[in-house]
Structure formats: structure tokens, C-alpha cells
Amino acid sequence: HEATTSRKLDHLRICSEEDIEAGSSGFSDIRIVHAALPECDMDGVDLSCHFLGHSLATPLFIAAMTGGHPDTTDVNRRLARAAEKAGCAIGVGSQRAALERPDLAGSFKVVRKEAPTAFIAANIGAVQLREYGTGWAEKAVSMIDADCVAVHLNFLQEAIQPEGDRDAAGCLGAIEELCSDASVPVIVKETGSGISRETARLLWNAGVKAIDIGGHGGTSWAKIEGIREGEKNEPPLTRLGDDFIDWGIPTVVSLIEVRETGGPVIATGGVRSGVDIAKALALGADMAGMALPLLAPAMKGDSALACAIDHIHRQLKAAMFLSGAATLRDMRRVRTYITGDTRMMIQKYD
Ligand code: FNR
């Protein structure tokens, strides 16, 4: 337990101090077709949307980051306040530590306390779900009165961590069972390696209600774990972090693949601006998630975070206006040009 909770602090510190991004999400390969005659009012651009039966003020999803150590409470408090104020959906970090040690639950409960009306996603790992079952997931949901539960997939991180869980067998069955028994909708999310069309089909068949692709090109767990290994002076043969920095499906490629399989999609992984969000929407995403870009402002203070979110929304509104889209529904119909590696990867060879 101590190891889980001190790992949380290692992650926050490394993510806020070091360069932990790798690869390319593919957003630079996407160009939205410019509307020289937008025929709408930029000040009237409407960001509201529907997701899993809820009305939300914006498609910006504050992606799962933290909780599980008392020193993470302030960051979660600020993220929650910002979510409540801006109307963003928000995910908490893995609740494993608090499920094992209820005295750590305060660092998660603060999110519902500060965001009484926000759409909140609980968070558990697929391996823990397989080990402990639906009851465990329901405890995570009730801890924060969540609106949905996100099951995270992070097998790249598990594969390279010296202490990782390497047996993934049976996780799909556990997800299927959760989908049929859970009191709230189930989302499955990757955490930086993306989801393919084949995996997406397995997940829809299991009954998941939305997929968060968590693609490659933003926060890199290979890089984060590589840095942790270096700090701990692990003997080189136990280190795999550096060898898997390039592994994963770029966010835009994953988005295009999963979109074609049906069902609501959250585009996360290297989304770095409101313009990236507009691109994700044009490619068919329902929501767009950001983790790392919000961490530094959340560690700084409430106003830094509110400013960052406001700026993202201004970028998104301007991009929508220049696409001729007054609503998110319009934005999803905007045409894009796809270039570079992304174009190569989505090409169908038959
Ligand atoms: C994460 N992420 C994450 N995801 C998850 O499901 N459970 C978790 O506990 C965490 N913890 C976590 C901590 C920190 C510090 C970061 C930066 C990220 C993954 C996150 O939700 C997201 O999928 C990826 O970070 C990709 O998005 P960005 O960071 O490239 O915008």
C-alpha cells in the first residue's frame, strides 16, 4: 500500500518537473477546412453537448490524474472546482489506494464535494476489477457519487514497471460482467497507447457505453517509468521504459479507427489546445480529454487553472467559428485534410 501511494507522488512530481511527452498524437497532420464565410456569430458559438444521458456545457473532459495520497487532495480540489465552474466532465485518478485503505478516500471525496453537479468518472484498473469484481467498482462509484465508472487499461506501464501486473487474462470477461451489473455506465480508457478498431469491437460487444482512446503522442508512461527507474538505479536489464517510448497507436489514428466501430468516443492523449479539440470533434469525437496540460496550473492555484481552461475554450470557439460551426453537431460535420504519417496509417490496403 505504501508503494502505491508514494508512487502517486512520484508521478505528480515527475509529470510536473520533467519532459514526459513522447511521439506525435497526429493533430499536426490534421487541417480543418477553413470557412471563409462562417455565417455565424463567434460570440454565439455553443459548446454544449450530451454525453451518456447528461447535458454538459463543454466537450472538454478533465482526464483522470490523481488522488490516493493526502498530498494530492489540493490538486483534486482545484480540478473539481474548475470542473464545476466551467461545466467540464472530470475523472479522478485510480481509486485503488483508497479502496485498499479507506483513510485515503478523502483525496477523492473532495472531488464530489467541490463539484456537486459535475459529471464525474470513477476510476479503477482492469486487473483490480478482475481480482475483486463488480462490488469493488461499485465502492469506487459510491465513494465519490460518480456518474460513470472508467476502467483503465495500462498494460504498457505494467509491462515495464518492475512491480507491474503482467497477467492480463480474464480482464475482458470482468469488464463484460461489470457492464451487465453496474449501477452506472462503464467507460473503458487507455492511458497513452491507444485503442485499435479490433479492441474497440471487443469492448462494444462487452457492453461498454463509451471508449476513451487514450492514444499515443501525449503523456508517455514509458518515459515516466523510465525516469523513475533511473532515479532508483535499477540494474539496466530490469529497465524497459526507454525501449517502449515509441509504442502505441497515435491518438488521431486510434480516434479514426474507433469512430468507425460506433459508440461515443472521448479523444485523449496529446490534446494540447482548443484547436486540437476542434480537430478531434471534426474527426467524430464526442468529447476530448486533457490531463497533463491541466496539471501544472492545478498545482499552481485556482485562478491559474481557470485561466488555462478559459483559454482552451476561447481557442475552441475561434476554431469552430472559422470552421463555420455554431454548434458541436455542426463541428462534427466539418471536413478535414489528413496528411503525413496519419494519412499513411489510416490508408486501407486491399
Ligand atoms: C494520468 N492518467 C491516468 N489515467 C487513469 O485512468 N488513471 C490514473 O490514475 C491516471 N493517472 C495519471 C496521472 C498523471 C499525472 C497523468 C498526467 C495522467 C492518464 C490520463 O488520464 C490520460 O489518459 C493520459 O495522460 C493522456 O492524456 P494527456 O496527459 O496526454 O493529455
Confirm whether the ipTM is greater than 0.85: yes
Which residue's C-alpha comes closest to atom 18 of ligand 1? 65
Of 336, 191, 322, 321, nearest to 251 by C-alpha is: 191
AA identity, residue 119: F
Phi, psi of 246 (to 5 degrees): -90, 0
What residue ranges line ligand 1, CB within 6 angstroms? Answer: 11-12, 15, 63-66, 93-94, 123, 152, 189, 191-192, 214, 218-219, 268-271, 290-292, 295
User: What is the chain's mean pLDDT, rounded?
Assistant: 95
Which residues make Cβ contacts (< 8 Å) with residue 161, sequence separation at least 6? 225
Closest atom, ligand 1, to C-alpha of 214:
23
Q: Report the largest interatomic distance among the alpha carbons of the chain, rounded to a whole angstrom.
A: 62
Q: How far apart are CA 259 and CA 267, in angstroms?
A: 10
pLDDT of residue 237 exceeding 70, the answer is no
Per-residue pLDDT tens digits for 140-192: 999 999 999 999 999 999 998 877 899 999 999 999 999 999 999 999 999 99
Per-residue pLDDT tens digits for 120-152: 999 999 999 999 999 999 999 999 999 999 999
What's the predicted TM-score (pTM) here?
0.97
Query: CA dist 212 to 2, 78, 114, 116, 284, Å?
Result: 29, 23, 24, 23, 13
Per-residue pLDDT tens digits for 284-317: 999 999 999 999 999 999 999 999 999 999 999 9
Q: How far apart are CA 120 and CA 122, in angstroms?
A: 7
Distance from residue 302's CA to the centre of ligand 1 (Å)? 20
DSSP-assigned states of every residue in 46-95: ---EEETTEEES-SEEE-----SSGGGHHHHHHHHHHHHHHT-EEE----
pLDDT at 242: 81
Contact 32, 281 (CB under 8 A): no
Distance from residue 76's CA to the centre of ligand 1 (Å)? 13
Which residue's C-alpha comes closest to atom 19 of ligand 1? 191
Average pLDDT on 106-117 reads 98
> Radius of gyration of the chain from Cα atoms?
19
pLDDT-based confidence at residue 4 (cuts at 50, 70, 90): confident
H or E stretch including 151? strand 148-153
CA terminus-to-terminus distance, the chain: 51
pLDDT-based confidence at residue 7 (cuts at 50, 70, 90): confident
